[in-house]
Every structure is written in structure tokens, then in C-alpha cells.
Amino acid sequence: MLPEPTRTWQDEKYQRLLRNDPTAFAEFCERVLPHLVGFLQSQFPQQDQHHLEMVAIDVLLAFRAEPEKYDPKKLSLAAYLRMAARGDVLNLLDINRRRDHRLTALENLETEPEENPVEAHFALDEWLEQYTDLSRREILAALEREIETNDKAILLLMLEGVRETKHFAQVMGISHLDEETQRVEVKRAKDRLGKQLQRFGRRIGKSKF
């Protein structure tokens, strides 16, 4: 990591920035940007260098927009910017972790209650509550616009926690078939809807983060 400029140099550039000197910021960035990038690389060696460079640039631009937030009495300007840059990277990593957790929760959403005691509607409700800003009603309204009319009754049964095959067979109009055929057809319908839920959730995840 490149060493930070002297405190005297930093203070001089800071005062010029406050006076709106037209060249001060460019001169400051020329020295401090490589220092910030090197610092982030040492702190987060597994992260993509381009992303770290963008964080460093964003931190410098944010400082340029509000230089008065920096208090020279507390620490050097370079140290202040290092703290801001490190915090921004940690925030981004936390956002990515929450996004990955959200998508994993959807991918693990089971659609066959007989094989999993955690019912699908509970998993969906928990996901909606923890990982979206939209209400359950808004999500379900959007989802229902995407599924076929014949599947809406199946989805409602799933969300209500219904487990017995016979109830699904009734809404699917296959009650006259033997029990094994009913079970196979009901499972196929649930699997199809489960995949639609997953695709829908991924699109929400991409739009939110």
C-alpha cells in the first residue's frame, strides 16, 4: 500500500478545497486515490480490484461534495477517507450476503409438503417479510398475474398450508383418477408452481439490489 501523503500536504489541499480552488481536488485525487485503493486491497484481498477502485472513487466524490463533514482536529484526511471506504465495502458485502441469502431461501422453498414438514406458505411469508419492502398482497397480486388461471387455485391451497392430495385433486379436476395418479399429477403441478415462485423471486432480488 502506498503511504499516505504528509499531514501538512493533506491540510494544505483541504484548505484549498474549502476555498474552491479549481485544481486542488485533481491534485488531491492523484495522490490519495492510489493510497485508498491499496488500502482496500490490503483489507479485502479477495474482492475484485475494479469494484474496490469504484468504491474509492465514490468516497472521494462524496468527500468533494461535502468536505465540511471532515473534522481536521480528529484525524488526518487520508485516515478519514480510509474509514469511509472500508465502511462502504463492508456495507456492500453485507448487501450481497443478504441478497444471496434471499435467493438461497427461495431456491430451497419446498413444494411437496408430504416430504417436508415446513409448509410452503410459511417459507414464502417469511421470505416476503424479511427480504422485500413489498407487502404480501402486492407480491401475490404480481405473482397471480403471471400464473395461469387454472394454477391460481393450486397456489391458494399451497399458501393456506393444505397438504392432502385429495384437495388439490379436486381443484385440478382429477378426483376420478386413482390415488397414485392423483399424487403424481399434484406433485407435478406443485413443482411447476414452485419453479415459477423461484424465478419470480430472483427477478425481485435483481431489482432490489
DSSP string for 176-187: TS-HHHHHHHHH
Asked whether residue 1 is domain-assigned, the answer is no
Domain membership of residue 132 as a residue range: 108-208
b/e code 139-155 from CB counts within 10 Å (16+ = b): bbeebeeebeeebeebb
Q: Are residues 86 and 153 in the same domain?
A: no
186 and 200 in contact (C-beta within 8 Å)?
Answer: no
When divided into structural domains, the chain yields a total of 2
Q: Are residues 203 and 116 in the same domain?
A: yes
pLDDT digits (tens, 9 = 90+) for 2-46: 788 899 999 999 999 999 998 999 999 999 999 999 999 998 888
What is the predicted pLDDT for the residue at 92?
80
Asked whether residue 103 is domain-assigned, the answer is no
Name the pTM for this structure: 0.48
72, 98, 124 - which closes a domain: 98
Q: Are residues 134 and 168 in the same domain?
A: yes
Q: Are residues 161 and 204 in the same domain?
A: yes
Q: What angle do CA 67, 68, 70 make, to 5 degrees?
A: 80
Asked whether residue 91 is domain-assigned, the answer is yes
Asked whether residue 2 is domain-assigned, the answer is no
Query: Crossing angle, helix 120-131 and helix 136-144, to 10 degrees?
Result: 120
What's the mean pLDDT when you consider all of the chain?
76
CA dist., res. 70 & res. 118, Å (int): 51
CA-based end-to-end distance of the chain:
31
- The predicted model gives 148-169 an average pLDDT of 75
- The predicted model gives 77-93 an average pLDDT of 89
